[in-house]
Amino acid sequence: MTRGRLEKIVAITMSCLHASLAATMATSVVAMTTGSTQLRTGTASKDEEIDGFASNIVKKSVTAL
């Protein structure tokens, strides 16, 4: 591989990782703002589900690289 191709691959890889982290952060922020306005009864499972989604986004983007 040439230097130019490696630079493109690294740039694409870093962009994908950046996008997945941004999506995870956005999901977490939405979950926190939604959770603070709702009653706290029964939201623990919902919070765990949202955290699981965020974790899966990062895992899938890292393993796809």
Average pLDDT rounded to a whole number, residues 11-18: 87
Higher per-residue pLDDT: 11 or 45: 11
Show the CA angle centred on residue 18, arms to residues 17 and 24, nearest 5°: 90
pLDDT score, position 43:
58
Is 61 in contact with 13 (CB distance < 8 Å)?
Answer: no
Question: Does the pLDDT of residue 64 top 80, yes or no?
Answer: no
Global pTM exceeds 0.85: no
Q: Count Cα neighbours of 16 within 13 Å in the Cβ-side half-sphere.
A: 15
- Residue 18 pLDDT class (50, 70, 90 cuts): confident
Segments forming the whole domain that contains residue 28: 3-64
Query: Total domain count for the chain?
Result: 1
